[in-house]
Amino acid sequence: MSAPRIALIHATPLAIEPVNSSFKKLWPEASLQNILDDSLSKDHAAAGHLTADMVERFIDLAQYAKRAGCQGILFTCSAFGEAIEAAAAAVAMPTLKPNEAMFEDALRAALKAHQNDAEVLNIGLVATFAASIVSMSEEFNALTAGLERPVKLHSLFVPHAMDALAQGQADEHHRLIAEGVQTLPACDVIMLAQFSMAAAQTLAQTKTSTPILTSPECAVLALQKRMKND
């Protein structure tokens, strides 16, 4: 596929740089269109849940991307699973949730670690936006519901880290996440929930021997594969 146009739809500006960097590294041929509505995360936090109005706004954003000539959409906001599903149905084009590829990669890694036994698969989820844990846990549990193997998700919210990143204190953001990773129980693999957390992976990985996955790289590779197969 030559230079496909991909819409990257963001609910926070903090997600823009990580996913653009992942595209530059893994799929530089793609032409990117960044679409930002930074009021979505604020409104979600204020409401405490996903509203019908937010779902309609996601549909509007996806339809705008389609009208702009995009052939695929990657949403980078992890707390809006149902809204993303509605948007994908509305535009009928390759559309990826921010974390579905990371979920699948994490399950493969955990299964590989226990391919010769029947132990519980333990997977860690670290988030800096509290609302992400609720929606991502629901999505993850739906994905694993049909597995014959038992899977346990260990979730951790790291307060203050997102605020530090928003204030330009990237080192503090990374430090808080790395410290949080060390408090998780023994896991087969750990997932960093938000795109904005990707840069913390290097430091966090020095604190544990457990593999740590980031959502931007997993998502870029998965969308590339999906679009080539469509």
pLDDT tens across the length of the chain (230 residues): 468 999 999 999 999 999 999 999 999 999 999 999 999 989 998 998 899 999 999 999 999 999 999 999 999 988 898 999 999 999 999 999 999 899 999 999 999 988 777 789 999 999 999 888 988 899 899 999 888 889 999 999 999 999 999 999 999 999 999 999 999 999 999 999 999 999 999 999 999 999 999 999 999 999 999 888 77
Tokens of 101: 């590829």
Q: Tell me: do 69 and 127 sit in the same domain.
A: no
Phi-psi region of 172 (alpha: psi -120 to 50; beta: other; left: phi over 0): alpha
Q: Tell me: do 104 and 189 sit in the same domain.
A: yes
Alpha-carbon distance of 223 to 192, in angstroms, equals: 19
Number of domain units in the chain: 2
Question: Tell me, what CATH number does 15's domain have?
Answer: 3.40.50.1860
Q: Tell me: do 81 and 145 sit in the same domain.
A: no
Predicted TM-score of the model (pTM): 0.85
pLDDT given at position 78:
81
pLDDT given at position 146:
83
Q: Tell me: do 92 and 113 sit in the same domain.
A: no
Q: Tell me: do 71 and 117 sit in the same domain.
A: no
pLDDT given at position 2:
64
Q: Tell me: do 221 and 192 sit in the same domain.
A: no
What lies within 8 Å, CB to CB, of 132 at 6+ separation is 78, 79, 193, 194
Q: Tell me: do 104 and 150 sit in the same domain.
A: yes
Residue 172 belongs to domain spanning: 100-214
Q: Tell me: do 27 and 126 sit in the same domain.
A: no
Q: Tell me: do 76 and 117 sit in the same domain.
A: no
Q: Tell me: do 135 and 208 sit in the same domain.
A: yes
pLDDT given at position 90:
97
Q: Tell me: do 89 and 145 sit in the same domain.
A: no
Q: Tell me: do 77 and 11 sit in the same domain.
A: yes
